[in-house]
Structure 1
Amino acid sequence: MDFSLTEEQQMIIETARKVGSEFGLEYWAEKDEKKEFPTECWQAICDAGLAGASLPVEFGGSNLGMLEMALIIEELAASGAGATVGQMFMINPIFGGVSVSKFGSPAMQNELLPALADGRLNFCMALTEPDAGTNTLAMKTFASPEGDGWRLNGRKIWITAVDAAQKMLVVARTRKAEEVERPTQGISMFVIDVDREGLSYTPIDKVGTRTLSACSVFFDDVFIRSDELIGTLDNGFKELLHVLNTERVVTTACMVGAGRLAERLAIQYANDRKVFGGRPISAYQGLQFPLAQSHAELKCARLMNLHAAALYDAGHPYASEANTAKLIGSQAATHAIERSMQAMGGMGYAKEFHVERLWRDARLFKFAPISEEMILNFIATHDLGMPKSY
């Protein structure tokens, strides 16, 4: 088992580090304060070829893998962005790139993927519903056949960056739950325009990840054309899981990077801060041990995440590894950021030292895109062979 990175992968990391350094802590603090989408940073990521790293060459990508994407995201997060940068990759290379490249028609791929890779097109994904939450199979949003297409009605919630997107990946029922043998049947995916008659949205005011909005989305007789179906009609649930499990890899990568960034900020502060006889506070084990513990936890999460990404790239099952990495990654990052804030004392609570933003942003990923409790349910049933508990 070879854990070394190739020369190409090292170059990718250096490119991501260079791009990330151009949009440092002050840039992200300003975007957070103004609640603005980081358009300039995302365009620079696209211009450097990083957004399309895993897309096919014929569509403007580099035909690399999920492993390279994880390395890119981690480095961008560690350079100053923190966890928020992972969400930008979720909505575009994952929700847009994975879904369209794996399940889209040739015409859809030719139209959308080059525009995604070069930054002309942003995506969002409408999945979660107010009365369903994690129980995706309980969704009520319904697409009824009409002529050469469908009419979509329903509501979604906590949908990221709708206001910055031109295309939306929508998951809806196309057959009612009581009409199918299994609840996983009767679910389909569509890629539609955000700017479409009958589609509206309202923002949700939230504590963190403020550079990307979260919205409630409403579908009121929205017409969907036949060529906007992506994947298999009525049998899109397995294809949806393929998209969602790659989302786990992206989440873990941004969390590991955010943890690394918090760790670096705490060490810089602790090395400069001198009390009790002029010694830097970093010389005391009371500060060293918590940060060292977090460092070890982050390294373990990173290895599991890269393992999951490598399995995906090799075409092997990877759901268990991706979910495990996400569980440990969110916990490790939370610990690292909390301990970094504690090491900085009162200044860790001050916006000028930036850790408080990392703290606010990271809290989301304890329960999103999947909660710790649901991952533990998955591990208990799929890995340990225990009966389903819910």
Structure 2
Amino acid sequence: MQNNPAVVIDGATVVFGDRLERAAVRFENGKITAIDGARDGAEIIDGRDHLLAPAFVDIHGDAFERQIMPRPGTMFPIAASLLETDRQLAANGIATAYHALTLSWEPGLRSVENGRAVVEALNTLAPRLMVDNRVQLRWETFCFEAIDLIREALAGPKRPSIAFNDHTSMLLLDPSVSLQERPFDLDPAYPAMDPATPAFADKMADRAKRAKMPVVDMVAMVRAMWERRPDVPAAIEEVARLGREAGAPMLSHDDSQVESRDFYRGRGARISEFPMNMRVARAAREAGDFIIFGAPNATRGGSHLASIGAADMIREGLCDILASDYYYPAMLLGLARLKADGVGALHELWPLVSANPARALGLDDRGTIEIGKRADLVLIDWPEGAAPAVRRTFSGGREAYRAIAAGN
């Protein structure tokens, strides 16, 4: 940790774990050292009329992809894209971000080759980045070629998480069955489309455009991947073993059946990421798993996929964590919407985006404002009845972002 000079943020309304209270928070050398303590030798920041809260811990965000590929098929340099992403994270109060890095058999943006470039670039850029950038290895279970990269990333300087995804089976799902109620992906009787039909070719048009390849070639690639299906269970076992041995937090994505959640829990994945129906969420809660929903879902008042609403799940006690998903500002905006709708008091809601994801990820040094914790803080201008705006973000005691309003 750098030797950062002492700073006191004075007069802000502070989000503690059990209350909101006006206080002075002192931090130095990257850690919080006092609450309403000494001010000697410290830089004083006037926090009056502002909210001071734990900075956000984003367990799953893929908005970084828009910096790499802002238009379908149009790629930009990885390093420049990640530096821009880092600025956006800091500006939105996110001090810890797990980039949902899809490792797929598809060429282009979500290829293993591009995933390796992102992992290597983040390692190289780490001393220049303003916040703690990490990766969620969002592994497509049909992509056996990614396993070597997963092994290498697990041995890297910042432990990643692993998310088990099966968009291949979802891609082949018969349209008569909803995504939200599809069978367990490894079910021998899984209702798959015939990839030789014109209907399937039509379905592949947008995906082929993203990969910059003819539709006929994309269809052939999907058919070849589907032939791998008998070998998928063994690949899952191998990746789960690697994750357990590394002590990596593991997640399963878009669970639609209790059987799916049970399967991945049995392999060490204790986080259910975006369960697709109430039945699965209740099973996850009964088993003591962490449950994630999207902050954009909370911000908009519902899912863009017509799945269950985050606010309803929070009310039911079936949501522990909100993730930025595809939109970084939603971490704060989702809290604002939930507060306005009376879902909970602000100090009750804040753990959804700080303490709970930190705990799920094994990051015990951050997520709350307590003496001894990492000084990951966000200072927010939030007039009554108005939209909130991040004014300062601190990451490990370093000022990562500052915005001065025109009226000041």
Which protein has greater RCO, CA pairs closer than 8 Å, 6+ apart? 2
TM-score by length of 2: 0.28
TM-score by length of 1: 0.28
Which protein has the bigger strand share? 2
Which protein has the bigger helix share? 1
